[in-house]
Every structure is written in structure tokens, then in C-alpha cells.
Structure 1
Amino acid sequence: MSSTQNPSLSTVETVPADLQRLADSINNLPSEYAMQLAPLIDAVVESTCRRRRILTLVQDALGQLRLDMKYLMFDLEATRRERDEYRSQLEEFES
């Protein structure tokens, strides 16, 4: 499992420390065992990185949704105030 063989492990900061230690331990095994385990650890690392990216995207989307909801609530309150003001003006005009 060389660094050219495993691009996922080249970005160490995105891989959890325990997975990095596991990959290092696999690299220290005899080559026949390391070659058998390399695809498995690669799949785990890729899955972990993908999950982190998805989690980040979901968190960003939720943050944007919260902000959008605040804007919508503000707009709704302003619209209600305007409606009430127009109603009172209409009632004054009619009387």
C-alpha cells in the first residue's frame, strides 16, 4: 500500500487518526498481507471521507435553511404589519 496506490491517505488531515494508525500498521505487515488488506482499508478510508463530505454538505444546507426560515418569518411579520396598517387605514376611510 504505497502513497501512489492510495491517494485517500495522502490527505492525512481528513482521515481519522485511528484509521491512519491502522493504515500504517497494515503498511508494516509483510507485503503479501499488506497487499490483501490494502483494498479493504482504501474502501474504509474512501467511505469515511465521503461520509464527512456528506455531513458537511448537510450541515451547510441546514444552516442555509435556518437562515432562509428567519428571512421568511421576518417577511411574514412585515407583511402582517402592513396588512393590519392598511386595514386600519381602510376602516378610517370608510367611516
Structure 2
Amino acid sequence: MENNRLPHPPENEELPSDMVKLARALQNVGPEEDRIKIDKAYEEVAASVRRHRRILALVQEALSQLRLDIKYLVFDLEATRRERDAAQEELERRRGNG
């Protein structure tokens, strides 16, 4: 009895090509009971790969948001410094004319 089952990830979560190649190679492994054990181990590894990819995507998204937040903070800091400098100049000008 041949096992033609190839594990398919959800549409939005592709497995790396080496995992797909491994799945195809595992279809031809010896007796059915060995194939069942190997399929179970393969599915665990595939789930781990998907989980790592989701985590990596979340980390990349968080880093992108952090970079954007830092840009806004730097812009705000520079604007605050300009305002401070302008206020100090105005204060010195008034003291000089006072």
C-alpha cells in the first residue's frame, strides 16, 4: 500500500523547499508502520518550522514598528530642541533690551 499523502501547509504558510523535498522522499519509505512513525515526526518538525516562521514574522514586524517609533521620537526631539533654542534666544534678546 503506497502512501501518496504529501503534507500540505495552509495556503499562507509555505514550508521551505527542503521540507517539501523531504516529504516527497518520505512517501517511498519502507513499510506502512515505519511511514506512519516518520510522518508523525515530519509533521512535528513541519509544525515547528511554521511556528518559527510566524515568530520571525512577528519579530520583524515589531522591529519595523520600533524603527518607525524611533524616527518619530527623533523628529520630536529635534523639534523640541529647536523650540528650546528659539525660546532661549528670545529670552536673551529680551534681557538684552530690558
- With the shorter chain as reference, the TM-score category is 0.7 to 0.9
Spell out, residue by residue over 1:35-94, the C-alpha distance to the aligned partner (whole angstroms, 9 max, x if none): 111111001100111111111111111111111111100100000000000011111112
Give the secondary-structure state (helix, strand or coil) at the position aligned to 1:73: helix
Query: Deviation above 3 Å: which 4+ runs of structure 1?
Result: 10-13
State how far apart, in whole Å, the 2-side matches of 1:91 and 1:36 are: 82
Partner of 1:74: 75
Query: Which has the larger Rg?
Result: 2
TM-score w.r.t. structure 2 length? 0.81
- The gaps in structure 1 that reach 5 residues or longer are none
State how far apart, in whole Å, the 2-side matches of 1:53 and 1:10 are: 13
Partner of 1:27: 27
State how far apart, in whole Å, the 1-side matches of 2:17 and 2:53 are: 14
Give the secondary-structure state (helix, strand or coil) at the position aligned to 1:10: coil
TM-score w.r.t. structure 1 length? 0.84
Give the secondary-structure state (helix, strand or coil) at the position aligned to 1:45: helix
Offset of residue 27 of structure 1? 2.2
More helix by share: 1
Partner of 1:11: 10
How well do the aligned residues superpose, as a CA RMSD in angstroms? 1.9
Percent of aligned pairs with the same amino acid: 45
Partner of 1:49: 50
The one-letter code of the counterpart of 2:63 is L
Offset of residue 28 of structure 1? 2.4
Work out the number of aligned pairs and report it: 91
